[in-house]
Amino acid sequence: MGRIFNFSAGPAMLPEEVLKEAADEMLDYRGTGMSVMEMSHRSKAYEAIIQEAEKDLRELMNIPDNYKVLFLQGGASQQFAMIPLNLMKNKVADYIITGQWAKKAYKEASIYGKANVIASSEDKTFSYIPDCSDLPISEDADYVYICENNTIYGTKFKTLPNTKGKTLVADISSCFLSEPVDVSKYGILYGGVQKNIGPAGVVIVIIREDLITEDTLPGTPTMLKYKIHADNQSLYNTPPAYGIYICGKVFQWIKRMGGLEAMKVRNEKKAAILYDFLDQSKLFKGTVEKKDRSLMNVPFITGNTELDAKFVKEAKEAGLENLKGHRTVGGMRASIYNAMPIEGVQKLVEFMKEFEAKNL
């Protein structure tokens, strides 16, 4: 059997070119006589890999010089604690709750200080992004937190909240490198790479230098201090070395594709194929407000749970896998990250048309 179109929300598809390159280098990485998996993270060969990865990411995202790039472990979820431990000087932070990931981050921050919910879309099962133009930002908030693209519900912030001068912290796990971004608007951007960049096990944190201080909350473990990782160029301990190597290959793939402007055009084109179909379908419908639709995660339903299950099963038989919605929301969800080819989305829509004709 050949490769399928994998619509998983994460871990998700990687570019085939990248997988093939990694396969070619598996036994002998460029004459070293070993795999990157077997290589010392202090070796010259590995230093070149991690430095090149950082350089390419900086170039792709146009990251200003006063920001550090950290390659860490613990997934996006570990950042839910690391952010308050490092940033909560006043022990106050404001959270905008647009889904489960933001909520989890909020709950974790509540362990360490006063976390305030300043806006939420939970009243309509997170199917929209609240108006964030004039929120009651706390006077002494150390930061304002958002989850920029809501992987489970399929919404995205199209404009960033007005933080009234406070530091913006954003979880960009599921929209990382999907379109250009102005890094200077954020204090921290971070994401687990298994959605849009690489293998699970790496989280990338892009952090403004003035937020990296010795002054963390009492009891903060050494491994959870941004400063220790920043001072050691992400090599304080053994990093997720192989994962970073694959991320580096994906950065180069994106550069070859034309960078983030080109990714945006491609992603908009893919998303439009699916949304345009949903908007005229008599069987399927999208579940979120049009203005807040994500380019990456597209949830939809038939309105009949048995028919949903039948769709997911028959789609799998047609080589379109992992279309089941998140266990907490049901229905379907197509995650169409950077590496999903346009043919995958076209094939999905063809299949949906046929399914509609047979089941309406």
Ligand X SMILES: *Cc1c(COP(=O)(O)O)cnc(C)c1O
Q: DSSP characters for 161-192?
A: ---TTSPEEEE-TTTTTSS---GGG-SEEEEE
CB of 169 to ligand X, least distance (A): 12
Is-catalytic flag, 171?
A: yes
Question: Alpha-carbon distance 11 to 6, whole Å?
Answer: 10
CB of 223 to ligand X, least distance (A): 16
Q: Residue with the closest Cβ to ligand X?
A: 75
CB of 173 to ligand X, least distance (A): 4
Residue among 156, 195, 225, 324 flagged as catalytic: 195
List, in sequence order, every residue forming a beta bridge with 207; answer none if it has no partner.
Answer: 68, 188
Contact 153, 329 (CB under 8 A): yes
Q: Kind of pairing, strands 320-321 and 5-6?
A: parallel
Residue nearer to ligand X on the CB measure, 83 or 147: 147
Is-catalytic flag, 114?
A: no
Residue nearer to ligand X on the CB measure, 11 or 319: 11
Residue nearer to ligand X on the CB measure, 75 or 341: 75
Residue nearer to ligand X on the CB measure, 39 or 144: 144
Which residue in 352, 349, 345, 358 sits closest to 5, CA to CA? 345
Structure tokens belonging to residue 141 = 């908030």
| Phi (first) and psi of residue 130, to 5 degrees | -65, 160
Residue nearer to ligand X on the CB measure, 151 or 220: 151
Q: Would you put residue 141 in left (φ > 0), alpha (ψ -120 to 50) or beta?
A: beta
CB of 145 to ligand X, least distance (A): 12
Residue partners of 81: CB distance under 8 A and separation at least 6: 108, 111, 112, 224
CB of 114 to ligand X, least distance (A): 22
Residue partners of 305: CB distance under 8 A and separation at least 6: 330
Question: Alpha-carbon distance 244 to 322, whole Å?
Answer: 25
Applying CB under 6 A, which residues contact ligand X? Answer: 10, 75-77, 101, 147, 151, 171, 173-174, 192, 195
Is-catalytic flag, 101?
A: yes
CB of 5 to ligand X, least distance (A): 20
CB of 201 to ligand X, least distance (A): 9
Residue nearer to ligand X on the CB measure, 76 or 288: 76
Residue nearer to ligand X on the CB measure, 77 or 90: 77
Residue among 56, 94, 142, 171 flagged as catalytic: 171
Residue partners of 321: CB distance under 8 A and separation at least 6: 4, 5, 6, 7, 8, 315
Which residue reads 């989890």 in tokens? 104
Question: Alpha-carbon distance 356 to 188, whole Å?
Answer: 44
For 342, half-sphere exposure in the C-beta direction (CA atoms, 13 angstrom radius) is: 10
Residue among 56, 101, 142, 166 flagged as catalytic: 101
Catalytic machinery residues: 101, 171, 195
